[in-house]
Structures are given as structure tokens and as C-alpha cells.
Structure 1
Amino acid sequence: MAHVTAAERRPQLIKAAIDLMTREGVAAGSTRAIASELGVAQATVHYTFGTKEDLYRAVMEQLTHDLVTQVKASAPADAGFEETLTALVAALWRTVREQPASHQLLTELSMFALRTPSLREALEGHYREVTEVTALLVTEAAERTGHRLALPASTIARFFLAGFDGLTMQHLSLPDEEAGLPGLQALVSSVVALAGGKLDLVRIPSV
């Protein structure tokens, strides 16, 4: 049998882990089960990744990369600021509707990482990357269209992602396209207003 290098085995194991945990959940993703999914020895997983947590980290990175790539590819080249944001949001929402299992797995891994000290860095990296990419897309859209941002792009990105994560969880928990659309429209409108300085921020005394 031909020798397979760790570099070649790595993407195979990541895919096997994603396939397995998408079907059966994160709790089922032991190194033994993942090895069985690919048809290799359990030792192969540890040789390639070191620990189960290292493999989980790679899975989170791969899922994030795949989603970000899809959204980036949808960015229009000649639309206005609002139209650009609307197109990006539509593309991201399309991944929620068409690939709910990927978003569910990312959510499960995030909750698991919160209780796993060795994965906290991976979780922080995931949110940092998503926030930075979102902020970059907002910045590029503003620069291309001559739209002056009233707040830092990172603030706008965090606001959008907080709302979008909530809408995603609602969709995964209780899918309702008719009820979900107004919420998505309200989020986009709020982001556009916030970016343009047309959304007044109230003072919260306890903060």
C-alpha cells in the first residue's frame, strides 16, 4: 500500500470529521470514530494532528474558510454601498438556507470550545477572522462607492454579526422563511443606517 503523507492525510481527516460530526454531532467526534469514518487506524489521527482538539481546531478553520470564500465571491464590483451590503448579506443567508448543517456544526463546536480551554484560542481566532473579513468587506464597499463610515468598520461588523448570528440560530431552531425575511431586512437596514450615521446610539447607564 502506498504511503500517504501527513500533509495529504490532513484534508482527508478534516473532511471525515466534518462528515461524521455533521451527521451525528460533535459528541460523536472521537478520534476513533473519525479514523473509522476514513478507514484508517486511530493512530493516524494522532500522528497527523496530535490531539483531538487540534483536529477540531482545523475543522473550525475549514468551515470558516469555506463560508468566507463563498461570501467573498458574491461581492459585486460596481454596485452602491447599500446594494453591496445587501448582496453580501443575501449570499451569507443563502449559505444558512442551503448549508444549515455547516452553520449548526460551527455553533456546536463554538459551544464545545467555550468549555475546552485548549480550544478557546481557536474560537477566538474564528470570531476574529469572521469579524475582520466582514469589516474589510464593509471598508472596501465604502471606499469604492465614496461612502463615509460614521463608525469604525469593526464596530459595524460586530453589530452585523451579532444580529446575523441571532437570526441564524432562529432559523436553525424554528425555520420560517416568511417570518425570517423581515428580521433580515431590518438587520440590513440597521447596518446601513449605523454605517451612515443615521442610527442614534442611546446611552446605557449601567455600561
Structure 2
Amino acid sequence: MAHVSAVERRPQLIKAAIDLMARKGVAAGSTRAIAAELGVAQATVHYTFGTKEDLYRAVMDRLTEDLIAQVEQAAPEDAGFEETIAALAGALWRSVSGESTSYHLLTELSLLALRTPGLSEARQAHYRGVIDVTARLVSEAAARAGRELSRSPETVARFFLAGFDGLTIQRLYAPDETAETLGLRGLVSATTALATGQLSLADVPMG
């Protein structure tokens, strides 16, 4: 059998890990099972990545890159501000509700990372990347539409993503297509209103 370098083997193992865990869940993603998925020795996984956490980190990086690319491609070049937010919401929602399970896998890995010190950095980098891209797209949409934002692009991005994450959790645990559609449309409208200073904010007792 021809020798395959670690550089070549790395993307193969990442794909094998994604395929396996997308089908069977993160709990099934042992290094032995991932090696079997690709048809290589378990030692190959450890030689290429070092630890299972290193492999999981690489999987999170790949899934995050794919998600960001999908969102960036969905941003229209000639639409107004609200239309741009709606396009972003639609692109993200298709990744949640479509046949692909990569978004669900990324959610699983993110939850696992909360209790896995070796994955903490990957979790933070994932969400930081999503926030940064969303904030940039919000800023570009406002500039294109000639709209002045009443809040910082990052604040608007965090507001939008917080609502979207909530809808995602509901989709996973208590799916209701009618409620989801209403929630998604409401989120776009509320994000637009917040960004343009048209949303009246209530006082909330925090103490």
C-alpha cells in the first residue's frame, strides 16, 4: 500500500469523522471508529492529530468554515438592509432544516466543548468567527442601503444569532414548522428594527 503523508491524510480523516458522527452522533466518534470509517489503523489517527480532542477541534474548524462560506454566499449584492438580513436568516435556516446534518453535528460538538477543556478554544473560535462574519455582513448591508445603524454591527449580530440559536434549539427538541416560520420572520423584523433604531427596548429588572 502506497504511503500517504499526514498532510494528505488529515482532510480524509476529518471527512471520515464528519460522516461518521453525522450519522451516529458525537458519542460514536471514537478514534477507533473513525479509523475504521476510513479503513486505516487507529494509530494513523493519533499520528495525524495527536489526540481525539485535536481531531474534534479540526472537525469544528471545518464545519465552521463551511457554515461561514454558506452565509457569505447567501448575502445579496444589491438588496436592501432587511432583505439582506432575511437572506442570511434563510441560508442559516436551510442548513438547520435541510437534509444535511452538519449544523446539528456542530451544535453537538459545541455543547461537548463546554465540558471539554481541550475544545474550549475551538468553541470560542467557532462562535467568534460566526459573530465576526455576521457583523461584517450587517455593516456592509447598512452601507449599501445607506442606513445608519443605531447599534454596533456586533451588537446587531449577537442579537440576531441569539434569536437564531433559540429557534435552532426549538427545532431540535420541539419542531413546529408554523411557529418556526413565524419566529424566523419575527427575528428578521426585530433585528432590522434594533439595527435602525425603531425597536423600543423595555426595562428588565436584572437584580
| Partner Cα separation in structure 2 for residue 69 and residue 172 of structure 1 | 23
Partner of 2:47: 47
| Partner Cα separation in structure 2 for residue 53 and residue 106 of structure 1 | 14
Letter in 2 for 1:12: Q
Partner of 2:109: 109
Alignment of 1:1-207 (within 5 A): 1-99=1-99, 101-206=101-206
Which shows bigger deviation, 92-101 or 188-197?
A: 92-101
Kept in 1, the 8 Å contact 2:96–2:104? The answer is: no
TM-score, scaled to structure 2: 0.96
Any idea what SS the aligned residue of 2:101 has? helix
| Partner Cα separation in structure 2 for residue 13 and residue 206 of structure 1 | 47
Q: How many residues align?
A: 207
Letter in 1 for 2:18: I
Q: Which has the higher contact order (CA 8 A, sep 6+)?
A: 2
Show CA shifts across 1:4-34 (max 9, x none).
Answer: 1111111110011011111111111111110
Kept in 2, the 8 Å contact 1:100–1:172? The answer is: no
Letter in 2 for 1:65: E
Displacement, 1:201?
2.3
Kept in 2, the 8 Å contact 1:22–1:102? The answer is: yes
Show CA shifts across 1:166-203 (max 9, x none).
Answer: 11111122332222100101101000000001112233
| Partner Cα separation in structure 2 for residue 65 and residue 105 of structure 1 | 14
Letter in 2 for 1:86: A
Displacement, 1:107?
1.4
The runs of 5 or more residues in structure 1 that have no matched partner are none
TM-score, scaled to structure 1: 0.96
Show CA shifts across 1:66-105 (max 9, x none).
Answer: 1111121121111111111111111111111214521221
| Partner Cα separation in structure 1 for residue 194 and residue 95 of structure 2 | 25
Percent of aligned pairs with the same amino acid: 67
The two structures, once aligned, show a CA RMSD in angstroms of: 1.2
Flag as ranges the 4+ runs of structure 1 deviating above 3 A: none
Which shows bigger deviation, 6-15 or 93-102?
A: 93-102
| Partner Cα separation in structure 2 for residue 97 and residue 202 of structure 1 | 32
Kept in 1, the 8 Å contact 2:46–2:52? The answer is: yes
Letter in 2 for 1:206: M
Displacement, 1:2?
1.5
Any idea what SS the aligned residue of 2:106 has? helix
| Partner Cα separation in structure 2 for residue 100 and residue 177 of structure 1 | 17
Any idea what SS the aligned residue of 1:157 has? helix
